[in-house]
Amino acid sequence: MPIVIDGKSLTIEEIIRVCRGREKVAIAEEAKEAINKSRAYVEKKLEEKAVIYGLTTGFGKFANIVISPEETALLQKNLIISHTCSIGNAYPSEYVRAAMLLRANNLSRGHSGIRLSTVQALVDMLNAEIHPIVPEKGSVGSSGDLAPLSCIALGLIGLGRCEYKGEVMETAKALELEGLKPVELAAKEGLALNNGTQMMTAVGVNVLWDALKLQKIADIAVAMTGEAMHVIKKAYDEKAMMLRGQEGQIISAENIRNLLDGSHNAKLVQPKKIQDPYSQRCAAQVHGASRDAISYVYNAVSKEINAVTDNPLIFPDEDDVISSGNFHGQPMALAFDFLKIAISELANISERRIERLVNSDSSEGLPAFLTKHGGINSGYMIAQYAAASMVSENKIYAHPASVDSIPTSANQEDHVSMGTTAARTAAMVLDNAQKVLGIELMCAAQAIWLRQELGENGIENLAPATRAAYNHIRETIEPMEEDIIMMDELANMDSLVKDGAIIDEVEKVISLK
């Protein structure tokens, strides 16, 4: 069954199913009625020769220029053509698919004045997997994502290039191959298609989805390192967590306790030490704070994916047209800035645990750089360098985009959100964080194996959940006896983190929150 959109009930999971799983989409019957009602109102206002922004006037600074009825269709086409100012590398097709779905869902609410046939054409393109090429740079996040959304609308009218069945071609050709016709835009439709926050939200929802997995990966990494470093489990005691009352911290601590349940490496007390360093002892507090931030972003995005964010807004029942600012990306800009800070912290603390694993001064008796034959072999020495490089890079990307603004359209649009930049840099932070946590998992697995080699029964003493994680890693990453081409193994581990299968294996043993 297709995913049915009505502008009100789309979920984050459904977006992922469409943009990554390529599921089909259909417009709800009640949404069709709302779209038709809104369009009928627009047609009525056109007949009355009403002066309405974007309908019978120019845009931005040209809002005071009245357009004749004969030129309204050309106005909409020119709007799309002139606004396709995106530049740079193309967004991945899953981001474009998410944006197309979100745009169609926005229009399905019935407050945009667009024709049903135009919304259906957008859905048909999505279902046919015709993905317009959308360069990633060029949006300031207000009036929403004008440039990237115009690139999508350009494909809808049969212009520009697209990705179709793994090949880049002229969009007109792809439409023809699928038996679809380009849309000839009518009054208001160009503005309805390119005003809104759907590109930044499309990028951000994909980052958010992977961040939900990464917070579980981070807890698994803490437990794996805890096994290798003979961590003191009492630091994660529920009584201590409840005294603070922070929900994310409580959840992370519970995950870590469950992951370590049954371990003979990690114990409630350790005879040779009183405390662990902060990177281990405060892991639940740090991971939990990121969890709470990610939860905030989840709630904000869940609202935005069903929001009407174009302009002007049509209210047929009230005989009203409102030129407002729902297209302003500030709610998403702040959310995605928060998201990238939360993700970067998961990597920051992970790199500190990596350092302790490879440093013989702090690794609880493990050989330096996790190699049995130090000197002739460097082991995991430079893997820690790589992690340090990426967490330092994240400090640049994590600078909030939303604290900046630059005026556009001759100062008519004098405050912008930079929300798309926030979403794009969040994706960069995510990629680095996934790689850093992958390095920690590799190091922890190597350390556990070395414990076994040293006669400490490291593998045999694992908790059932951490053993499941260890075994899954070992299906791809072998213990390192001598130096190897490390970049190949780092890439393999990065794939293991991103596909999420390590979570699936652990959750066959315990449930993670």
- Give catalytic residues, as residue numbers: 53
Name the β-bridge partners of 273. Answer: 270
Count CB neighbours of 65 within 10 A.
11
- Nearest Cα neighbor of 416 from 55, 57, 60 is 60
372 phi, psi to nearest 5 deg: -75, -20
Q: Note the helical H segments in 261-282.
A: 278-281
Question: In angstroms, rounded to a whole number, what is the distance separating the alpha carbons of residues 273 and 496?
Answer: 34
312: cis peptide before it, omega within 30°? yes
- Alpha-carbon distance 228 to 231, whole Å? 8
* DSSP structure string for 381-422: HHHHHHHHHHHHHHHHHTS-GGG----BTTTTB-----HHHH
The Cα 15–Cα 205 span in angstroms is: 8
Q: How far apart are CA 441 and CA 220, in angstroms?
A: 8
**Could you tell me which of 257, 275, 221, 283 has the C-alpha nearest to residue 444?**
221
Report how far residue 31's alpha carbon sits from residue 111's, in angstroms, rounded to the nearest whole number: 10
Parallel, antiparallel, or unpaired: how do β-strands 130-132 and 161-164 relate?
antiparallel
Backbone angles phi, psi at 178, to 5 degrees: -95, 5
Q: Which backbone phi and psi does 87 adopt, to 5 degrees? A: -150, 155
Nearest-angstrom CA–CA distance, 418 and 330: 8
Q: Using alpha carbons, select from 371, 380, 463, 419 the residue that is nearest to residue 145.
A: 419
Residues present in the chain in total: 513
Q: Confirm if 87 and 135 have CB atoms less than 8 A apart.
A: yes
DSSP state of 153: H
Segment holding 121, helix H or strand E? helix 116-127
Residue 26, classed as helix, strand or coil, is strand
- DSSP-derived pairing of the beta strands 3-5 and 25-27: parallel
- Strand 87-90 versus strand 167-170 pairing type: unpaired
